Amino acid sequence: MNNDMDAEDALQLAFIKVFKNIKQYEYKATPGAWIKRIVVNSCLDQLKKKKIHFEEINDRTEVIELEISEPNYTMDMVKRALNRLAPGYRSVFNLYAIEGYDHKEIAEILQTSEANSKSQYSRAKQHLKKFILESTTHEAG
Protein backbone atom coordinates (compact mmCIF):
# COMPACT_ATOMS: atom_id res chain seq x y z
CA MET A 1 0.00 0.00 0.00
CA ASN A 2 1.18 3.49 -0.70
CA ASN A 3 0.63 4.98 2.75
CA ASP A 4 0.00 3.96 6.35
CA MET A 5 -3.67 4.90 6.30
CA ASP A 6 -4.43 2.72 3.27
CA ALA A 7 -2.41 -0.11 4.79
CA GLU A 8 -4.34 0.14 8.06
CA ASP A 9 -7.66 0.11 6.20
CA ALA A 10 -6.66 -2.93 4.16
CA LEU A 11 -5.43 -4.75 7.26
CA GLN A 12 -8.64 -3.98 9.15
CA LEU A 13 -10.74 -5.29 6.26
CA ALA A 14 -8.53 -8.37 6.09
CA PHE A 15 -9.05 -9.19 9.75
CA ILE A 16 -12.79 -8.72 9.37
CA LYS A 17 -12.65 -11.26 6.51
CA VAL A 18 -10.56 -13.62 8.66
CA PHE A 19 -13.08 -13.56 11.50
CA LYS A 20 -16.08 -13.84 9.17
CA ASN A 21 -14.56 -16.81 7.34
CA ILE A 22 -12.81 -18.62 10.19
CA LYS A 23 -15.26 -21.54 9.88
CA GLN A 24 -14.16 -22.00 6.27
CA TYR A 25 -10.50 -22.52 7.23
CA GLU A 26 -9.69 -26.06 6.06
CA TYR A 27 -6.26 -26.64 7.66
CA LYS A 28 -4.66 -27.12 4.23
CA ALA A 29 -2.11 -24.45 5.11
CA THR A 30 -0.85 -23.02 8.37
CA PRO A 31 -3.15 -20.41 9.95
CA GLY A 32 -0.45 -17.79 9.32
CA ALA A 33 -0.27 -18.62 5.62
CA TRP A 34 -4.07 -18.56 5.34
CA ILE A 35 -4.27 -15.17 7.06
CA LYS A 36 -1.37 -13.83 4.97
CA ARG A 37 -3.21 -14.78 1.79
CA ILE A 38 -6.32 -12.93 2.99
CA VAL A 39 -4.26 -9.84 3.90
CA VAL A 40 -2.50 -9.81 0.51
CA ASN A 41 -5.81 -10.22 -1.32
CA SER A 42 -7.36 -7.47 0.79
CA CYS A 43 -4.53 -5.11 -0.17
CA LEU A 44 -4.91 -6.02 -3.83
CA ASP A 45 -8.68 -5.49 -3.62
CA GLN A 46 -8.07 -2.00 -2.21
CA LEU A 47 -5.65 -1.23 -5.06
CA LYS A 48 -8.17 -2.46 -7.62
CA LYS A 49 -10.83 -0.21 -6.11
CA LYS A 50 -8.49 2.70 -6.76
CA LYS A 51 -8.50 1.63 -10.41
CA ILE A 52 -4.83 0.74 -10.52
CA HIS A 53 -4.25 -1.18 -13.70
CA PHE A 54 -1.46 -3.47 -14.77
CA GLU A 55 -0.28 -2.77 -18.28
CA GLU A 56 0.82 -5.59 -20.53
CA ILE A 57 4.44 -5.00 -21.43
CA ASN A 58 5.84 -6.09 -24.75
CA ASP A 59 8.79 -8.42 -24.07
CA ARG A 60 10.63 -6.85 -27.00
CA THR A 61 10.86 -3.53 -25.22
CA GLU A 62 14.50 -2.51 -24.78
CA VAL A 63 15.80 -3.12 -21.28
CA ILE A 64 18.23 -0.61 -19.84
CA GLU A 65 20.41 -1.85 -17.00
CA LEU A 66 21.84 0.64 -14.54
CA GLU A 67 24.97 -0.28 -12.68
CA ILE A 68 25.39 0.73 -9.07
CA SER A 69 29.05 0.38 -8.23
CA GLU A 70 28.74 0.18 -4.46
CA PRO A 71 25.52 -0.73 -2.66
CA ASN A 72 25.99 1.86 0.10
CA TYR A 73 22.35 2.80 0.43
CA THR A 74 20.13 2.81 3.48
CA MET A 75 16.82 1.09 4.13
CA ASP A 76 15.20 4.52 4.12
CA MET A 77 16.49 5.11 0.58
CA VAL A 78 15.04 1.77 -0.52
CA LYS A 79 11.67 2.55 1.10
CA ARG A 80 11.53 5.95 -0.61
CA ALA A 81 12.40 4.31 -3.93
CA LEU A 82 9.68 1.67 -3.43
CA ASN A 83 7.13 4.40 -2.77
CA ARG A 84 8.09 6.10 -6.04
CA LEU A 85 7.27 2.98 -8.08
CA ALA A 86 4.06 2.94 -10.08
CA PRO A 87 1.43 0.98 -8.14
CA GLY A 88 1.44 -1.96 -10.58
CA TYR A 89 5.22 -2.32 -10.39
CA ARG A 90 5.16 -1.95 -6.61
CA SER A 91 2.47 -4.63 -6.24
CA VAL A 92 4.35 -7.18 -8.33
CA PHE A 93 7.67 -6.34 -6.67
CA ASN A 94 6.20 -6.69 -3.18
CA LEU A 95 4.42 -9.95 -3.99
CA TYR A 96 7.54 -11.50 -5.53
CA ALA A 97 10.50 -10.06 -3.62
CA ILE A 98 8.94 -9.48 -0.21
CA GLU A 99 5.98 -11.85 0.10
CA GLY A 100 7.64 -14.73 -1.74
CA TYR A 101 4.97 -15.52 -4.32
CA ASP A 102 6.13 -16.97 -7.64
CA HIS A 103 5.18 -15.40 -10.96
CA LYS A 104 2.51 -18.00 -11.65
CA GLU A 105 0.77 -17.20 -8.35
CA ILE A 106 1.13 -13.47 -8.95
CA ALA A 107 -0.40 -13.85 -12.42
CA GLU A 108 -3.40 -15.63 -10.88
CA ILE A 109 -3.79 -13.05 -8.11
CA LEU A 110 -3.56 -10.08 -10.47
CA GLN A 111 -5.42 -11.79 -13.31
CA THR A 112 -2.63 -11.26 -15.81
CA SER A 113 -0.09 -13.44 -17.57
CA GLU A 114 2.98 -14.98 -15.97
CA ALA A 115 5.14 -13.24 -18.59
CA ASN A 116 3.61 -9.90 -17.64
CA SER A 117 4.36 -10.54 -13.98
CA LYS A 118 8.00 -11.23 -14.86
CA SER A 119 8.16 -8.10 -17.02
CA GLN A 120 6.58 -5.94 -14.32
CA TYR A 121 9.07 -7.30 -11.76
CA SER A 122 12.01 -6.66 -14.09
CA ARG A 123 10.82 -3.12 -14.75
CA ALA A 124 10.28 -2.52 -11.03
CA LYS A 125 13.89 -3.54 -10.31
CA GLN A 126 15.15 -1.21 -13.05
CA HIS A 127 13.17 1.71 -11.64
CA LEU A 128 14.30 0.94 -8.10
CA LYS A 129 17.95 0.96 -9.20
CA LYS A 130 17.39 4.25 -11.01
CA PHE A 131 15.62 5.86 -8.03
CA ILE A 132 18.28 4.67 -5.60
CA LEU A 133 21.06 5.89 -7.88
CA GLU A 134 19.33 9.27 -8.12
CA SER A 135 19.03 9.51 -4.34
CA THR A 136 22.71 8.58 -3.81
CA THR A 137 23.84 11.24 -6.27
CA HIS A 138 21.58 13.84 -4.61
CA GLU A 139 22.92 13.00 -1.16
CA ALA A 140 26.52 13.01 -2.37
CA GLY A 141 26.07 16.36 -4.13
Domains of the chain and any CATH numbers: 1-51 (no CATH), 57-141 (1.10.10.10)
**Interhelix angle for 114-140 vs 103-110, to 10°?**
100
pLDDT tens-digit series, residues 48-101: 776 655 555 555 445 444 444 445 667 788 788 888 888 888 889 888 888 888
Query: Cα torsion at 11, 16, 22, 27 (round to 10°)?
Result: -10
Contact 16, 8 (CB under 8 A): no
Per-chain mean pLDDT for the chain: 78
- Residue 122 pLDDT: 92
pLDDT tens-digit series, residues 11-45: 888 888 888 888 888 888 788 888 888 888 887 77
Query: 73: number of CA atoms within 13 Å, CB side?
Result: 22
- Residue 72 pLDDT: 64
